[in-house]
Amino acid sequence: MKSLLSILLLVLIGQCVFGQTYFGPNYQHWNSSSNCEYNYNLLDNTMVGNNAADNLIFTHVWGVSDYTHQEYMTKSAGLWFEGTAWSIFNEDWTIDMDTNLAFNVLNPQVNGNSFRHTVTVDNSANNGSNIDNPLLNGNPNAVFFLTKTWDNGVYDTAHVGIWYNSARSKWAIYNENYTGTLQLNSTYNIFIPDAGTSFFKHSAIDSYYITYLDNPLLNGHPDAKIFVVHDYTNDVGHVGYVNDEIGVWYDEASWSIYTENITDLFAGATFNVLVIADYPTGVSNVSNDHSKLKVFPNPANNKVHVLVGRSLTGGQINLTLSTIEGQILIQQDVDGKMGQYLMDVANIPTGIYILTAIAGKGTYTTKVNILR
């Protein structure tokens, strides 16, 4: 009995450590000529919402599952609420948004805390801006993530990282160019994931511009969505600047963090890494080949998120919701590259229904329980 209990504990611990956590609506955005204009793109409202008060974060990802969008993001980028939708824009507003870029985008709403930080005269010194938040103050081991956002009409082209200011017992955002400063009134979205969720720290082992990640949250997950930020110093790494934008890349074998301008890292350069689940606990990861079609929530009420395995994507997918007897109630064609879709079922009565996805590589079905 003791042996069996030990095994069960190990299984439970393994699920806790190795499981990816759902933090909120998310998706991988692919730039295209249809969603880019001037120096910005438009994100998909149906995937991350259109609430200007939300604190979205993003990370550039080099190359996607169909071997496109293989371009470097050499300039700093931030978030901008365009009026009806969120967008990602070049902080150097004179540069058009590249249609060959892709981004992991998250609207954090659960399993953590988010807020917005503004750079002011009172919280700034030298090349940094101190953050005042009770979850971070006096906590040198805190792990958090950030993205620039355009709240006050301020552009800031600085490459930025985070640093614990032990003299003030506060974390700070700083300009990786140590002789530079942060623009006053520039703003940042900050997300602090709860303890025990799916994040870790990674330290580079050499001075190459790429550092490879080896972690159970990522190993064997080529479709993982990850977010990264450089941590100037902590108890497992070494101090140092990384004066460059950073992105993530999967090279057919493992995930890595790299510098966009091919700036060398240094041994001990440390990064916070957040790995997110596409959907809440209880729904399998659609990146697995056996998980072709999933929905959540299930039972559903007004809306259903439809998740189509990446192995099916490409071209168009026809989604239908029908009764057990075969009567079609909803039918819609969607872009096969998205992987995640929203279906409005507010007018469908309580009952069990069949969701069908017809793609170029086959037809797949799953049950949907609608409960009023």
Q: What is the mean pLDDT of residues 79-91?
A: 96
The reply to whether 282 falls in a domain is no
CA–CA separation, 120 and 186 (whole Å): 8
Residues 201 and 349 in one domain: no
Q: Alpha-carbon dihedral of residues 215, 259, 192, 169, nearest 10 degrees?
A: 110
Please state the rounded mean pLDDT for residues 264-278.
94
| Rounded alpha-carbon distances, angstroms, from residue 8 to 3, 5, 13, 173 | 9, 5, 9, 42
Least confident window among 6-10, 45-49, 69-73, 170-174: 6-10
Same domain, 263 and 302: no
Average pLDDT, the chain: 87
Structure tokens at 248: 């993530």
**Does one domain contain both 212 and 267?**
yes
Q: pTM for this one? A: 0.76
How far is residue 193's CA from residue 176's CA, in Å, rounded to a whole number? 24
Q: Using only the alpha carbons of the chain, give its radius of gyration.
A: 22
pLDDT bracket for residue 312 (50, 70, 90): low
pLDDT of residue 287: 37
Question: Domain ends where: 212, 244, 277?
Answer: 277
| Pair 147, 195 in one domain | yes
Q: What confidence score (pLDDT) does residue 338 get? A: 65
Is there a single domain that holds both residue 29 and residue 165?
yes
What is the Cα 71 distance to its own chain's centre?
A: 18
355 strand-pairing partners: 321, 366
User: In terms of Cα–Cα distance, which of 214, 322, 210 is closest to 269?
Assistant: 210
Tell me, yes or no, whether 330 and 239 share the same domain. Answer: no
Q: Are residues 266 and 340 in the same domain?
A: no
Number of domains the chain is built from: 2
Other CB atoms within 10 Å distance of the CB of residue 196 = 10
**Residue 113 falls within a domain, yes or no?**
yes
The verdict on 240 and 309 lying in the same domain is: no
List the CATH number of the domain containing 311: 2.60.40.3080
Residue 205 in domain: yes
**Pair (62, 196) in one structural domain:** yes
| Beta carbons of 145 and 274 less than 8 angstroms apart | yes
Q: With respect to residue 164, please indicate whether it lies within any of the assigned structural domains.
A: yes
Q: Are residues 108 and 227 in the same domain?
A: yes
Q: Is residue 364 part of a domain?
A: yes
How many residues appear in the chain? 372
Q: Is residue 263 one of the residues assigned to a domain?
A: yes
Per-residue model confidence as pLDDT tens digits over 211-255: 999 999 999 888 899 999 999 975 555 788 999 999 999 988 899
Q: Which residue range is the domain that position 365 belongs to?
A: 293-370
Q: Is residue 283 part of a domain?
A: no
What pLDDT digit, counting tens, does each position of 6-49 carry? 333 333 333 334 589 989 889 899 999 999 999 999 998 878 88
With respect to residue 284, please indicate whether it lies within any of the assigned structural domains. Answer: no
DSSP string covering 80-134: EE-SSSEEEEESSTTSPPPTT-EEEEE---SSEEEEEEE--TTTEETTEEE---T
